[in-house]
Amino acid sequence: MSPVPTEDAYDRIRMRQWSEGRARSAGIERRDLLKLIAAASAAVPLASVAAPARAADGLPGVVKPLPPELFTLRGTNAETNFAALRGTGPLTPADRFFVRNHTATPLIDRAAWRLTVWGDGLRGGPVEFALTDLLELPAVTRTAFVECAGNGRSFFTSQQGQAVGGTAWTLGAIGTARWRGVRLADVLRRAGTGRHAVDVLPRGLDAEVVTDGVNLGRVRRPLPVAKALEDVLLAYEMNGEPLPPDHGSPVRLIVPSWVGIASIKWVGDIEVSAEPLLTPWNTGLYRLFGPGHPPEGSAPLTRQTLKSAFELAPGAAFPVHRRAPLTGRSWSGGAPVRTVEVSTDEGVRWRKARLRDEPRAASWVRWTADWVPRERGPAVLLARATDRSGRTQPVATAHNTQGYLFDAVVRHPVVVN
């Protein structure tokens, strides 16, 4: 088996080729991409941080109901309230799985849907797959989280006083599900992917995205061919049911452990390219910009980072002197979680939480820790995870202008009565 080159190493080649005019900006003008990259490295005024959170029962672009006890609405997106996961199993029920839509959920007829695989990285011409064709291929099942690269972004501002651009998520832009579908590798092989293919570009059937007067085209994010052939799924089921409309029906990508943008929903076509491809989603977006990063940004983001969250509303109340079971979840895109520690005294003492699930890659663990609050008044709960690669959640995350990959310990305010 040949090792998968890191996205980092591959990207250095891709960017060099682009600057030499050998890589191709797919579906967007080169100068518009350059503008995006320049904008991404600019500082963001605090005021632009985000659309305010709203409590409402739904969003025009989302099909499922979004009751305020389950979701907090942010722009076109719905964040899962962590308190709503308390008492649920390791899989996030579809009715409370977060929704991140660049525009709106499209309604796609499953019978008429086709996946077209095309491009100069194929040995022959375009190949079409109907849903029935995919159902005839060997099915695989995989539990994996989908987590937005910007999950936790609001804490750059609220905990670190830093301005960042993008949706002001707290920690609920993650959900874990059991996905069933086919290996992307099987589809790419059947389509005749050649040895000369380097990039694979799945594209959604949702509307084109227009920001600041620039049409970015349809949501699409290239994967190096080695990754596309490794562990990526084309999923048609979520938790044993057909994919719901908001989560990509009839078929979406699942790229385990990687940032959510890689898991393209409502996939309609996949370009297999003999040249490296650049789109807004791997250039101006989903790279780290800011101090310590080159002007063209870091390599595109791949794996998710490490986080922990309490299954509690912010400001939850606890009776004094009464033993309370604190519950939460921790996860890492790097390696399975090894330990979780909880502190109720501002990080002076940490004690181990009890893990309730077998830690696995690309998934989260539920945990519990008992707490007997001794004093009335405001308090702060802290949880921090360590994964098997030895990484522990730090006290602060290095700033980047778009607020990606927040991994620091989050301060969860509560009240003791």
Ligand X SMILES: Nc1nc2c(c(=O)[nH]1)N[C@H]1C(S)=C(S)[C@@H](COP(=O)(O)O)O[C@H]1N2
Shortest reach from residue 61's CB to ligand X, in Å: 10
Q: Closest Cα to residue 120, out of 185, 187, 201, 230? A: 201
Interaction of residue 258 with ligand X, rule CB under 6 A: no
Which residue shows structure tokens 């088996």?
A: 1
Q: Are strands 277-278 and 199-204 parallel, antiparallel or unpaired?
A: unpaired
Q: Sign of torsion, CA 333 98 247 102?
A: negative
**Tokens found for residue 295:** 């002007």
In the complex with ligand X, the residue whose CB is nearer, 104 or 226, is: 104
Which residues are registered as beta bridge partners of 218? none
Residues near ligand X (CB under 6 A), total: 19
Q: How far apart are CA 172 and CA 294, in angstroms?
A: 30
In the complex with ligand X, the residue whose CB is nearer, 98 or 318, is: 98
In the complex with ligand X, the residue whose CB is nearer, 266 or 371, is: 266
Pick what 10 binds: ligand X, Mo ion, none; C-beta below 5 to 8 Å, kind-dependent.
none
Interaction of residue 290 with ligand X, rule CB under 6 A: no
Of the residues 153, 180, 247, 384, which one makes contact with ligand X according to CB under 6 A = 247
Build a one-symbol-per-residue string for 7-26: x at contacts with ligand X by CB under 6 A, - elsewhere.
--------------------
Is there a contact between 267 and 204 (Cβ–Cβ < 8 Å)?
A: yes
| Cβ atoms < 10 Å from Cβ of 217 | 17
Interaction of residue 403 with Mo ion, rule CB under 5 A: no
Shortest reach from residue 401's CB to ligand X, in Å: 17
Interaction of residue 261 with ligand X, rule CB under 6 A: yes
**Near ligand X in 132-151, by CB under 6 A:** 146, 148
Half-sphere exposure of 294 (CA within 13 A, CB side): 8
What residue number has its CB nearest to ligand X? 204
Cis peptide before 250 (omega within 30 of 0): yes
Interaction of residue 206 with ligand X, rule CB under 6 A: yes
Q: Are strands 114-118 and 267-273 parallel, antiparallel or unpaired?
A: parallel
**Near Mo ion in 98-117, by CB under 5 A:** 100
Q: How far apart are CA 217 and CA 383, in angstroms?
A: 40
**Near ligand X in 93-112, by CB under 6 A:** 97-102
Pick what 73 binds: Mo ion, ligand X, none; C-beta below 5 to 8 Å, kind-dependent.
none
**Tokens found for residue 95:** 């009715």
Shortest reach from residue 246's CB to ligand X, in Å: 6
Q: Sign of torsion, CA 208 125 261 98?
A: positive
Of the residues 175, 260, 276, 297, which one makes contact with Mo ion according to CB under 5 A = 260
Q: Which residues bind Mo ion (CB under 5 A)?
A: 100, 148, 260-261
Q: Which residues bind ligand X (CB under 6 A)?
A: 97-102, 146, 148, 175, 204, 206, 219, 247, 260-261, 263-266
